């Protein structure tokens, strides 16, 4: 990471009135006080700019990495580019997977498949179930995968892998029997934002 240097246009925290950074009052200010204010002035801006830079470069960095409510958990998943295919968080529909449901004053962690729902865990408070769900989702490698390739052509699959390798993007590939051998390729987390054009080319209809 490069160093951050405040520019001459940086606004003074005491804008509109004489400050220790003002040239006309400098001769009357004690050197130690001046040095302290200069240090604080630049230090605050370096930290602020560094923080904004990190958030821009890595959306996974958050001020509150451990969500306490269902809305916060949903936002955390979106911010870190988790998929919602197997998790119903804050009401999204899923065909199969886990979810959160409120039943009276209690909170239920359930599993659903083909319309059949089974309650797995019951919690008294929202914060308790969110902590539980957060740890479950965070430890599930599939929750952070995004499919960018599904086809039956090994040559086309190798072409996709070459692209991902050249882009230095980590991937996971497996083979599944689907009428015939199908090749699936996944990327992780927010890397999906770098390859949004690939699924259109490398995901084939399963009816082929």
Query: Residue 179: its pLDDT value, please?
Result: 80
Does residue 122 have a pLDDT over 60?
yes
State pTM to two decimals.
0.66
Does residue 149 have a pLDDT over 70?
yes
| Range of weakest confidence among 33-42, 109-118, 131-140 | 33-42
Condensed to tens digits (0 to 9), the pLDDT of residues 67-91 reads: 999 999 999 999 999 999 999 999 9
Query: Residue 127: its pLDDT value, please?
Result: 97
Q: pLDDT category, 6, cuts 50, 70, 90?
A: very low
Q: What is the pLDDT averaged over residues 125-151?
A: 97
**Cα(137)–Cα(143) distance, rounded to whole angstroms?**
6
Query: Residue 183: its pLDDT value, please?
Result: 96
Query: Residue 190: its pLDDT value, please?
Result: 98
Reduced to 3 states (helix: H, G, I; strand: E, B; else coil), residue 6 is: coil
The distance in angstroms from the start CA to the end CA of the chain is 47
Query: Residue 49: its pLDDT value, please?
Result: 46
Three-state SS string over 63-115 comes to CCCCCCCHHHHHHHHHHCCCCCCCEECCCCCCCEEEEEEEECCEEEEEEEECC
Q: pLDDT category, 48, cuts 50, 70, 90?
A: very low
Share of the chain above pLDDT 70, in %: 67
Does residue 196 have a pLDDT over 70?
yes
Q: What is the pLDDT averaged over residues 112-124?
A: 96
Within 10 angstroms of residue 86's Cβ, the number of other Cβ atoms is 18
| Range of weakest confidence among 10-19, 36-45, 62-71, 108-117 | 10-19
Q: pLDDT category, 159, cuts 50, 70, 90?
A: very high
Query: Residue 40: its pLDDT value, please?
Result: 52
Rounded mean pLDDT of the chain? 79
């Amino acid at each position: 990471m490069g160093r951050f240097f405040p520019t001459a246009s940086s606004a003074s925290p005491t804008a509109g009135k004489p400050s220790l950074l003002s040239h006309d009052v400098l001769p009357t200010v004690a050197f130690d006080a001046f040095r302290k204010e200069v240090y604080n002035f630049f230090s605050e801006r370096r930290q602020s700019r560094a923080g904004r830079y990190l958030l821009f470069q890595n959306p996974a960095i958050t001020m509150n990495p451990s969500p306490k409510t269902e809305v916060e958990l949903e936002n955390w998943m979106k911010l870190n580019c988790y998929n919602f295919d197997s998790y119903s968080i804050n009401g999204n529909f899923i065909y199969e997977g886990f979810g959160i449901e409120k039943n009276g004053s209690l909170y239920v962690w359930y599993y659903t498949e083909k319309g059949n729902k089974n309650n797995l865990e019951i919690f008294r408070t929202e914060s308790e179930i969110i902590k539980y769900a957060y740890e479950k989702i965070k430890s599930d490698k599939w929750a952070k995968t995004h499919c960018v390739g599904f086809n039956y052509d090994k040559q086309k699959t190798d072409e996709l892998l070459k692209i991902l390798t050249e882009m230095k993007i980590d991937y996971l590939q497996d083979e599944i029997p689907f009428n015939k051998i199908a090749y699936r390729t996944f990327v992780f987390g927010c890397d999906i934002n770098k390859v949004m054009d690939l699924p259109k080319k490398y995901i084939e209809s399963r009816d082929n």
